Amino acid sequence: MGNEPSSHYQAEEDESTVFISKEDDVYRIPALFYDSDRKILLAFAEKRKTSNDASAVALVMKTGTLIEDKTTQTVTTKWSELKLVKEAHLDGHRPMNPCPLYDKNSKTLFLFFICIEGTVSELFQICCNQNKARLCYITSKDGAQSWSEVTDLTDRLDEIKSWATFAVGPGHGIQTEGNRLIVPVYGYASCSPSCCCFIKFYCCTPYALYLYSDDEGKTWKFSSRIQKVSLECEMAEVTDDSGFKSIYCNARSKGGHRVEAVDKNDGTGFVTLPTTDKLVETGGGCQGSVVSFPAQSEAARADSDQSQNPNRWLLFTHPSSKTKRTDLAVYLNKTPSDPNAWSEPWIINRGPSAYSDLAYIGDGWFACLMERGQQSEIEQIACKVFSYSDAEQGTGQ
């Protein structure tokens, strides 16, 4: 949530368009999941009345089929009709921030989201120190054809009582190789009751963390938080040469550069990585997406699956401009523990661009769901499929 984009809806639909905004139907906040069993993409978004965060009315989804052209070595997508996710709902609340997460053991797709009371804004909650957000999820076992009733976790998690407000993601969650389910979260720590509303806006500090389950989603707990101002975030599991696994977090900041942190699963919590000039933050900030994938070798260019390689690299998408939401770029990092190892940006969408979500679809291929437009970044949500070879060449690696 955050900066309000300009309201123009002039984008022309093409084969990559998934959701297209019109005057009274605005689609924002993309989230993407690749169902490797069914070989389909599931795209989620918020449906709003206007560009304003407080005008969200429902979560929506589409199913995407991958179409491979072996002659041109490209992959495109064909999308279903739009479907309202009506189960993602609490009476008197608006659903926001879709965050899909899959448990491969129980074959269960979780769709996490927040529900905010009425049209209460994030700013109001922060200034008045009154959390009006609730933490919810629904589940599906048939590829999102049907959904369970909503589960509200809010009252089961004591930490939420001490927050001015919070949100999940937005974007995807992950399952680690050790089967831990992880949902990215950020929360605003409450201020002293003696602070006036104006001061609270500045002293309520946001921190990124994650919600996790080690029992296939039966119970949930929060991790420790990143000890640096950090907002919307995504997580990825990374592995080094020795086979050691850790959780990498990439978060929106209020400064000029992204916040990066690593949780080594040793009980000490997140360690913030040194700030570098490699990953810039855009203006007042913007969400970005990160995904880990098997380290690729020369064989990857021949479409050989590298899933047996123990190392995992990172791919990141975010607007590349320092001042405004434009020119969405891909960044590659082959040494995730080193923030200086990020590549130069490869621009995959010239012009207005904002939120995005990445999915690794195997065999060295990725999909990116992104906000984009001609005059405004919220004119449509589109999907681009590309290979590791494309990213390697584009980033100059």
| Active-site residue, from 371, 379, 390, 392 | 371
**159 an active-site residue?**
no
Count of Cβ atoms closer than 10 Å to residue 183 Cβ: 25
Half-sphere exposure of residue 283: CA atoms within 13 angstroms, side-chain side: 15
Give the residue carrying structure tokens 């680690």: 176
**53 an active-site residue?**
yes
Count of Cβ atoms closer than 10 Å to residue 308 Cβ: 6
**355 an active-site residue?**
yes
DSSP three-state, residue 147: coil
Q: Tokens in use for 87?
A: 């189960």
| Active-site residue, from 34, 137, 331, 355 | 355
Task: Say what the alpha-carbon torsion angle 237, 265, 204, 88 is, to the nearest 10 degrees.
Answer: 50
DSSP label of 275: P
DSSP three-state, residue 352: strand
Distance, in Å, from the CA atom of 129 to the CA atom of 282, rounded to the nearest integer, reads 27
DSSP label of 146: S
Distance, in Å, from the CA atom of 43 to the CA atom of 299, rounded to the nearest integer, reads 30
Helix, strand, coil fractions of the chain, as percent rounded to 5? 10, 45, 45
Q: Tokens in use for 306?
A: 């590298």
DSSP label of 252: -
Phi, psi of 3 (to 5 degrees): -45, 135
| Active-site residue, from 46, 53, 281, 327 | 53
Distance, in Å, from the CA atom of 263 to the CA atom of 180, rounded to the nearest integer, reads 13
DSSP three-state, residue 296: coil
Give the residue carrying structure tokens 């933050």: 281
Q: Tokens in use for 352?
A: 């207005």
Phi, psi of 195 (to 5 degrees): -75, 140
Residues with a catalytic annotation lie at: 53, 355, 371
